[in-house]
Amino acid sequence: MRARKPPDWLIEERRNGLGHWAAFCLSCGHTLRYFEEGEHELPLECPQCAGPIRARCPACSARFASAFATACEACGEELRPDELLGLRIRRGG
């Protein structure tokens, strides 16, 4: 039996709690959070590497709440390659 302790990534997300919705850089995995009314303030380019920022599902334009999502909850479309997620989680600390 595993304890139902929140995983580290969830704790980090809450600590970073700057918005209900998430966006991330497709190049380096840098994550941004935003509120619905602040979506227009999201940068189009990553502030770290100038890579493309993805804030919506490319297939159905659904927003995503987790910066660690790899697939769209609404339609199942891949939001980014899984290997980038691995890099992202090892970063920081």
Q: Which residues bind Zn ion (CB under 5 A)?
A: 25, 27-28, 30, 46, 48-49, 51, 57, 59-60, 62, 72, 74-75, 77
Cβ at position 6, least distance to Zn ion in Å:
26
User: How large is the C-alpha radius of gyration of the chain?
Assistant: 13
Q: Which is nearer to Zn ion, 57 or 67 (CB)?
A: 57
Q: Where are the beta strands (DSSP E) in 1-93?
A: 21-25, 31-34, 53-54
Contact 31, 45 (CB under 8 A): no
Residue with smaller CB distance to Zn ion, 32 or 72: 72
Task: Kindly state the smallest distance separating residue 85's Cβ from Zn ion, in Å.
Answer: 14
Retrieve residue 39's tokens: 């979506």
Nearer residue to Zn ion within complex by CB, 30 or 33: 30
State the nearest-atom distance from the C-beta of 15 to Zn ion, in Å.
Answer: 20
* CA distance linking residue 80 with residue 8, whole number of Å: 21
